[in-house]
Structure 1
Amino acid sequence: MSFANPFASPRFNKQYVAENGDTYIDKKRWLWLLSVLVPLLTLLGPLLYIESGKEWMLWIPMAIFYLLIPLADWFIGEDSNNPPESIVPQLEADVYYRWITFLLVPVLLFGFAFTAWFVSSYPLSWSGWLAVLLVNGFICGYGINLGHEMGHKRSLSERWAAKIALSLSAYGHFNVEHNRGHHTEVATPDDVASSKLGETIYGFYIKEYPGAFVRACRLEKQRLNRKGHSFWHPDNEVIQGLLLTTFIYGALTLWLGWSVLPFLLLTALWGGFQLTSANYIEHYGLLRKKQPNGRYERCQPRHSWNSNFLLSNWSLFHLQRHSDHHANPMRRFQALRNFEEIPQLPAGYYAMFLLAYVPPLWFKVMDKRVIAFADCDPERLNLLPKKAEKYLSQLSQPDTSGKPASD
């Protein structure tokens, strides 16, 4: 199903023209501005509760993210539109897109503070408290996504904006771990942020959550040592992130009282799990081949799962075009491209998260896709060691349809 965008005409959009005559119109140009409001959907439940007093309404944002958006993704369909490469320099130089990301920072800070105030001001049952905690974790998840976009950039203002967004979920070490760790080791057994074939999301979380922090500390210590500094130097980005989180959580605790602190800490854990969910689905089972010199091949678009479903991609600043992001980490969200012949997820991230939370369903849907994309080549499969024998036996025994057997 194709998407009829009423803002797609040149009357509403800027037309880019390259020297070679190529032209391009970003049909989502004005929709990107509206995407800043998506995280505020998390406030819908508390606002409805304040108006009606009905606690079940606190769960409405969860229904929006896990049910309504996946259904809308299916109804609206996919968007595989790419900007011509000749247009990309102009598209990336357009400061309109940059200001959208900056605008989202205060929106996230407001949403985070509002939910903290709400749980401190209204007598909620454990169910209502849990609902608000879960939706506040989505604000943290959007903060990590924003930190992911801005933290790859060279400008100091964008990198500090990323640190502020990441501090909401106590994940200020992300830029260090992701940029210098994950992007180097992605789709290899050495990467704590790349899930293996046969691994559950819960087993992955137990490894990835603390492993990311440990790797960030190690990488930052190495960087500072090269400059002749100790780990405790003020330039340490891991410590800077921790101090920002301490400041925000401390300010909210002084304002709202000590009772809000457990809510904030649990929110941070759930926010971190949103990152785990993304990392889990983005490289599941995919492996870069090891070359004769012992090094892994260069990361290619085929080493990441992609998704072109329009609504979820729009709300996440093209995070789902993850293949191009790893091939070109510095490329801005508005210029990320789709590729042919790369692994494609059967749905957008919101639906895939929900699927991953039920491991038997995840394995049933995804394992056959991983094996088929790898063309039954074990050198292209990142196997969970304790299940390796099981999967290797499947590779040698295809099913009667001629496709690899599924889990």
Structure 2
Amino acid sequence: MNWLNPTYSAVDAQGENVTYRDGKRLAWAWSVINPFFAWIGIGLYTLTDQVWLLWFPILQGYVLFPLLDMIIGEDTNNPPEILVPQLEADRYYRWLTYLVVPMHYIVFIGAAVWLARADLPWHGYLAVSITLGLAAGLGINTGHELGHKPRKLDRWLAKFVLAVPFYGHFWIEHNRGHHRQVSTPDDVASSRMGENIYRFALREIPGACKRAWLLEKGRLERRGKSVWSRDNEILHSYAISIILQGGILIALGWQMLPFLVIHNFLAWWQLTSANYIEHYGLLRDKLPNGKYEPCAPYHSWNSNHKLTNQILFHLQRHSDHHANMSRAYQSLRDFPDLPRLPNGYYGMFLVAYVPPLWFRVMDKRLLALKHIQGDLTKVNIDPEKRAAIELKYGASHG
């Protein structure tokens, strides 16, 4: 098999030979080197001594990437379903998720050492801290991909990469909490129509942490163990965080404490930003037995924008991920009539940070969805905003 561009093949039920080549195979490596974008500003500053260039990675993420997403466009290609087992058995894709884990440690520790030694004004220190926090947010995305896999190695690597931003509870909460309650009023990680991102963050960040601990506590109690036992998988990652970030403070001094606080918060904020845009206003129907219907592709907002999907391990094909959470990133599919975001995640984050603009862009898009068609009873609405929304759009257009 040609490792650089292998051909997968099989014979279908009709006796036809089906073949497939992943045209994005090598491009997936961008997800591995993407964390190093945090060093671009440091490199530019070193070459020019211009402090303002330390802000370039932020400009790259929030201006250049959205523009490139618009220019390059979308990719709606799906691998043939009969060949998905071969695609997912290809260890190349798995090794990419493994390789990116040490990259996050190299980026974090290297930049911290540089920052401790650099003579920067406060705004330069702030730029590096924010940039490293955004890079650590990519680590949460890596932890997301690894934490969904049943292999013990993958889950330990998820704990290690989530330790960089001190967010080790994420994969517990995400797998056992968010995926079960997604797109319902019960889910702290699903945003509601009329809820701005800042109010959402106040609900989601502490709520997700609390839910993770309750879930892990329940799991351990069912096994007759204490939540403070060594089998607590949240504590595994937290212990690594304490060693890593405690080591930074011991080795480089207490002047690194503001860096760590900003770094950690910005990583958490990246996750919150993604959670906010991924399920905004979408609602699963409640069945007669009181349970919610199974999660379907139309319960998540989707984006097929090529550039940002390549650097985020296909996170933006979120619809198939939630409907089929065990599928690997390289085989996630597009579907017709999905809720679609008008840009990739970075562009939509920027829109979300300006709530009036977000509501203007997304509310009518939400109500126009095929399975909603203006019916507010099929929308997850912020209770505090319900009266105003019903006044604006009518109690039900169904």
1:356 equivalent among 342, 352, 356: 352
CA RMSD of aligned residues (A): 1.5
1:261 equivalent among 253, 257, 260: 257
Report whether the alignment pairs 1:384 with 2:376: no
TM-score with structure 1 setting the length: 0.93
Paired residues in the alignment total 391
2:300 equivalent among 295, 301, 304: 304
2:8 equivalent among 1, 12, 16: 16
Match of 2:180?
Answer: 184
Measure how far apart 1:354 and its partner are.
0.6
1:129 counterpart SS class: helix
Report whether the alignment pairs 1:145 with 2:145: no
- Structure 1 Cα separation of the partners of residues 368 and 207 of structure 2: 30
Match of 1:375?
Answer: 373
- Structure 2 Cα separation of the partners of residues 295 and 388 of structure 1: 23
Contact kept, 8 Å, 1:13 with 1:26, in 2: the verdict is: yes
TM-score with structure 2 setting the length: 0.96
Match of 1:250?
Answer: 246
- Structure 2 Cα separation of the partners of residues 235 and 135 of structure 1: 34
Could you give the per-residue CA deviations for residues 250-270 of structure 1, whole angstroms, max 9, x where no partner exists? 122222112112211221011
Task: In structure 1, list runs of 5 or more residues that go unmatched.
Answer: 1-9
2:11 counterpart SS class: coil
Deviates more, 1:250-259 or 1:337-346: 250-259
2:7 partner letter: Q
List aligned pairs for 1:206-285, cutoff 5 A. Answer: 206-285=202-281
Contact kept, 8 Å, 1:249 with 1:261, in 2: the verdict is: no
Match of 1:44?
Answer: 40
2:64 equivalent among 68, 81, 103: 68
1:17 counterpart SS class: strand
- Structure 2 Cα separation of the partners of residues 372 and 350 of structure 1: 23
Could you give the per-residue CA deviations for residues 154-205 of structure 1, whole angstroms, max 9, x where no partner exists? 1111111111111111110001100000000000000000000000100000
- Structure 1 Cα separation of the partners of residues 30 and 144 of structure 2: 19
Contact kept, 8 Å, 1:197 with 1:381, in 2: the verdict is: yes
- Structure 2 Cα separation of the partners of residues 260 and 361 of structure 1: 36
List aligned pairs for 1:119-138, cutoff 5 A. Answer: 119-138=115-134
Could you give the per-residue CA deviations for residues 342-375 of structure 1, whole angstroms, max 9, x where no partner exists? 1000000000001111111101100111111121
1:377 partner letter: D
1:22 counterpart SS class: strand
Contact kept, 8 Å, 2:45 with 2:51, in 1: the verdict is: yes
Measure how far apart 1:57 and its partner are.
0.7
2:82 counterpart SS class: coil
Match of 2:312?
Answer: 316
Distance 1:230 1:135, change over 3 A: same
2:8 counterpart SS class: strand
- Structure 1 Cα separation of the partners of residues 10 and 364 of structure 2: 42
Measure how far apart 1:117 and its partner are.
1.3
List aligned pairs for 1:335-350, cutoff 5 A. Answer: 335-350=331-346
Measure how far apart 1:394 and its partner are.
3.3
Contact kept, 8 Å, 2:282 with 2:300, in 1: the verdict is: yes
Could you give the per-residue CA deviations for residues 53-94 of structure 1, whole angstroms, max 9, x where no partner exists? 110110111111111111111111100000111111000000
- Structure 2 Cα separation of the partners of residues 161 and 11 of structure 1: 25
Contact kept, 8 Å, 2:8 with 2:83, in 1: the verdict is: yes
Match of 1:3?
Answer: none
Match of 1:204?
Answer: 200
1:394 equivalent among 388, 392, 395: 392
What is the percentage of aligned positions where both structures have the same residue?
Answer: 51
Could you give the per-residue CA deviations for residues 19-41 of structure 1, whole angstroms, max 9, x where no partner exists? 32221111000111233112211
- Structure 1 Cα separation of the partners of residues 97 and 207 of structure 2: 28
Contact kept, 8 Å, 1:36 with 1:103, in 2: the verdict is: yes
- Structure 2 Cα separation of the partners of residues 125 and 393 of structure 1: 50
- Structure 1 Cα separation of the partners of residues 350 and 134 of structure 2: 14
Measure how far apart 1:136 and its partner are.
0.4
1:97 equivalent among 93, 99, 119: 93
Task: In structure 2, list runs of 5 or more residues that go unmatched.
Answer: none
Contact kept, 8 Å, 1:172 with 1:238, in 2: the verdict is: yes
Distance 1:11 1:194, change over 3 A: closer
Measure how far apart 1:392 and its partner are.
2.1
2:165 equivalent among 169, 181, 185: 169
Contact kept, 8 Å, 2:130 with 2:262, in 1: the verdict is: no
Deviates more, 1:56-65 or 1:246-255: 246-255
1:154 counterpart SS class: coil
Measure how far apart 1:11 and its partner are.
9.9
Could you give the per-residue CA deviations for residues 368-388 of structure 1, whole angstroms, max 9, x where no partner exists? 111111211223200000111
Instruction: Find runs of 4+ consecutive structure 1 residues off by over 6 angstroms.
Output: none
Match of 1:56?
Answer: 52
2:393 partner letter: L
- Structure 1 Cα separation of the partners of residues 30 and 352 of structure 2: 28
